[in-house]
């Protein structure tokens, strides 16, 4: 099903690239980050084009819960422990500036996008975690943000403690995106295939650019940059409910199974079920949310459901800035974690300054040139290990995917089988409709795993996803899965 945002918004189609072009800046990715970067560059008098493989906002922007906040889980404790107090201040100031910039743009351009100022809360129901929130509040204060610890919330259950940030916001991301995209040049259905020096080769033509920005969620270029070694991806799930309570703000639980709450008009968005992409063979994430909805809001009714995918960096800080040390004219905005709204605006502010040759005071903490090879290698090997683990727990022997045993899969389910000595992904829609695909990820060859909640093949190494019949859903892979004949 589609997100609430997608079901309530139409964005006009844009043309495909029809000829080779030469431009000052080419931006890869027509989500919120890409459109904002193009818009802020235009404010500085720098022309750019946005190249989008599908439609504007068709990627992760349409699946966000759209909290505009500088409260990013327990980020300030991590920053002070792993970076230093000065860089914690840079991070906090950048995100607070992002919130203010949203408000300014929406007010000046009179954008109808359901923008509402709301406080943001982190909460816990465990008494032993109260000290964790108190420490985070103290670290946030050191970074320049006042936080209040309280037990008073409008959640439908008691909490042991909650930490509150005032002056945060929420909005309708696609209504905002639609308005911002009006002033920039976007080429839709124009897929970037390769990038070499200052040339961006697409399926529609070649763009030569002085500067190139990768704003495509997960960079599909492996070398240089090595982002596949220093990021992984996570999935999370959302229900939109009607006839549920009105809350006084946005809420996120800090426990492993903590839930997310926010209102959107008359609807309540209930989120959770986070897991590393490719590690959901048992499924049941939507069932967990439905159980919570039944307990907390028994009179509520589900409107729609959807899921999101987020790029997670090893130190919880996005990579925004120069793509790599060997590519001074390439820039990147990625690794936003669960906080794509503020991170998209931070990216636009920071990269517009850098491309214009202006110094940005927040650049050091977000620099992609911070690189820890040992930690990155560990992340890569962990993903590979999980892929092998997935093979072991999901593989069962069959001589051929067309045999009676393959048809023992329930309708609407998939699984990995052995056919002629090779691992094959089988999806059974109904008795007469069985599809077999290679479960070797075309990105770097990891073993894919079936996600029963989304009916997709997911990569536990780097997060690429494919639909039940092998069609590409999420990168960094660039191609569909190989289909295997079943007769």
367 & 398 share domain: no
Look at residues 344, 374, 404 and tell me which one is the last residue of a structural domain.
374
46 domain-assigned: yes
Assess whether 408 and 442 both reside in one domain: yes
Question: Are 320 and 221 contained in the same domain?
Answer: yes
Mean pLDDT value across residues 199-212: 97
Residue 325's alpha-carbon distances to 225, 321, 367, in angstroms, are 8, 11, 11
Statement: residue 384 has pLDDT above 50 = no
Residues 6+ away with beta carbon under 8 Å from 428: 406, 407, 409, 410, 411, 412, 413, 414, 434
Kind of pairing, strands 267-276 and 260-264?
Answer: antiparallel
Residue 110: Cβ within 10 Å count? 7
My answer on whether 405 and 451 are in the same domain is: yes
**CATH code of the domain covering residue 438:** 2.102.10.10
The beta-strand segments (E) located in 199-266 are 199-202, 206-214, 231-242, 250-253, 260-264
Tokens of 328: 């001074």
pTM of the model as a whole: 0.90
CATH number at residue 9: 3.50.50.60
pLDDT at 391: 36
Inside any domain, residue 51: yes
Q: How confident is the model at residue 412 (pLDDT cuts 50, 70, 90)?
A: confident
Q: Is residue 105 part of a domain?
A: no
pLDDT of residue 415: 78
Residue 155 forms part of a structural domain: no
3-state secondary structure of 385: helix
The per-residue pLDDT of the chain, averaged, comes to 90
Number of domains in the chain: 2
* Per-residue confidence (pLDDT) for residue 408, from 0 to 100: 58
Which is higher by pLDDT, 1 or 298? 298
Domain match, 455 and 340 both: no
Amino acid 413: pLDDT: 77
| Residues of the domain holding 415 | 393-484
Same domain for 327 and 460, yes or no, is no
pLDDT tens for 157-178 read 999 999 999 999 999 999 999 9
Given 374, 403, 423, which residue is the final one in a domain? 374
> Is 436 inside any structural domain?
yes
Give yes or no: residues 398 and 454 share one domain. Answer: yes
What's the pLDDT band for 392 if we cut at 50, 70, 90?
A: very low
The string of DSSP codes covering 74-124 is THHHHHHHHS-HHHHHHHHHHHHHHHHHHHHHHHHTT--S--EEEEEEEEE
Q: Is residue 191 part of a domain?
A: yes
> Same structural domain for residues 363 and 435?
no
Q: Are 476 and 423 in a shared domain? A: yes
Same domain, 338 and 421: no
List residues bridging with 240 in a β-sheet: 269, 304
Give the pLDDT score at 379: 53
Residues 479 and 398 in one domain: yes
Q: Write the pLDDT tens digit of every residue in 62-109.
A: 999 999 999 999 999 999 999 999 999 999 999 999 999 999 999 999
In a domain, 158, yes or no: no
Residues 340 and 475 in one domain: no
Query: Does a structural domain hold residue 24?
Result: yes
pLDDT of residue 429: 79
| Tens digits of residue pLDDT in 425-459 | 778 777 667 788 888 999 998 999 999 998 999 99
Angle between helices 75-82 and 85-108 (to 10 degrees): 140
Predicted confidence at residue 386, as pLDDT, reads 46
């Amino acid at each position: 099903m589609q997100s609430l945002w997608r079901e309530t918004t139409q964005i006009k189609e844009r043309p495909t690239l029809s000829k080779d072009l030469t431009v000052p800046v080419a931006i890869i990715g027509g989500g919120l980050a890409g459109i904002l970067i193009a818009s802020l560059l235009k404010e500085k008098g720098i022309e750019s084009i946005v190249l989008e493989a599908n439609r504007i906002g068709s990627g992760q922007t349409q699946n966000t819960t759209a909290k505009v906040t500088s409260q990013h889980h327990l980020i300030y404790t991590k920053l002070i422990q792993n970076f230093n107090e000065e860089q914690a201040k840079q991070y906090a100031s950048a995100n607070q500036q992002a919130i203010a910039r949203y408000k300014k743009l929406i007010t000046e351009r009179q954008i109808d996008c359901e923008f509402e100022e709301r406080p943001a809360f982190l909460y816990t129901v465990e008494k032993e975690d109260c000290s964790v929130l108190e420490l985070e509040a103290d670290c946030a204060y050191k970074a320049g943000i006042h936080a209040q610890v309280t037990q008073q919330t409008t959640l439908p259950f008691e909490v042991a403690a909650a930490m509150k940030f005032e002056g945060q916001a929420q909005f309708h991301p696609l209504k905002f995106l639609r308005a911002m995209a009006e002033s920039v040049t976007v080429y839709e259905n124009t897929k970037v295939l390769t990038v070499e020096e200052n040339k961006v080769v697409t399926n529609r033509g070649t763009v030569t650019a002085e500067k190139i920005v990768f704003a495509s969620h997960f960079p599909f270029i492996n070398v240089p940059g090595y982002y596949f070694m220093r990021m992984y991806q996570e999935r999370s799930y959302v229900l939109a409910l009607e006839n549920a309570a009105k809350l006084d703000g946005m809420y996120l639980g800090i426990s492993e199974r903590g839930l997310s709450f926010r209102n959107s008009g008359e609807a309540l968005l209930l989120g959770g079920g986070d897991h590393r992409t490719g590690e959901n063979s048992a499924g049941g994430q939507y069932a967990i949310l439905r159980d919570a909805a039944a307990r907390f809001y028994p009179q509520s009714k589900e409107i729609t459901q959807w899921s999101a995918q987020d790029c997670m960096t090893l130190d919880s800080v996005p990579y925004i800035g120069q793509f790599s040390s060997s590519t001074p004219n390439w820039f990147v905005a990625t690794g936003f974690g669960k906080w794509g709204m503020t991170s998209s605006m931070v990216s636009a502010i920071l990269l517009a300054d850098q491309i214009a040759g202006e110094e940005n005071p927040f650049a050091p903490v977000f620099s992609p040139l911070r690189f820890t090879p040992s930690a990155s290698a560990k992340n890569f090997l962990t993903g590979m290990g999980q892929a092998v683990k997935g093979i072991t727990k999901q593989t069962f022997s069959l001589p051929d995917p067309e045999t009676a045993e393959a048809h023992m899969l329930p309708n609407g389910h998939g699984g990995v089988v052995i056919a002629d000595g090779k691992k094959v992904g089988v999806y059974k829609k109904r008795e007469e409709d069985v599809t077999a695909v290679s479960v070797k990820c075309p990105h770097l060859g990891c073993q894919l795993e079936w996600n029963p909640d989304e009916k997709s093949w997911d990569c536990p190494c780097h997060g690429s996803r494919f639909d039940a019949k092998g069609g590409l859903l999420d990168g960094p892979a660039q191609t569909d899965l190989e289909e295997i004949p079943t007769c």
